[in-house]
Amino acid sequence: MLTRIDHIGIACHDLDATVEFYTSTYGFTVFHEEVNEEQGVREAMLKINETSDGGASYLQLLEPTREDSTVAKWLAKNGEGVHHIAFGTADVDGDAAAVRDKGVRVLYEEPRRGSMGSRITFLHPKDCHGVLTELVTSAPVESSEH
């Protein structure tokens, strides 16, 4: 089912300052940056390592681009910090259905587009011991030039 920790999502007020912290403190490098209009965020993916299934593990830094986005609302309530954990899977549709069959609420009827062309869905934090959980099927990665 789940193959790895794909990423840890961290909500922040200032993406550039947060990227600077993680790059200068830990030596991580920015692998990918994008604006996801649908989710109302500007994000940076910092690559941590490769994994045995050909994927990688990342930190995903998220800055809201509008006040009505989920991340903006979360920041207003909780402040900066860990927003969610994402698990990699080869089959987000099948694994979401399997988890739903076990009584966990899946937040999207159909997976949506995520970072770097991935397919994602989220599991309700109240059903996951308070942790917003994301399931991710990564798009094939051809190079680090995204």
Catalytic residue among 39, 60, 63, 83: 60
Catalytic residue among 7, 32, 39, 63: 7
Catalytic residue among 32, 63, 83, 134: 134
Catalytic residue among 32, 39, 83, 84: 84
Catalytic residue among 39, 43, 63, 83: 43
Residues counted in the chain = 146
Catalytic residue list contains 39: no
Catalytic residue list contains 134: yes
Catalytic residue list contains 84: yes
- Phi, psi torsion values for 88, nearest 5 degrees: -80, 145
Angle at 36 between CA 18 and CA 76, to 5 degrees: 55
Catalytic residue list contains 32: no
Annotated catalytic sites, by residue? 7, 43, 60, 84, 134
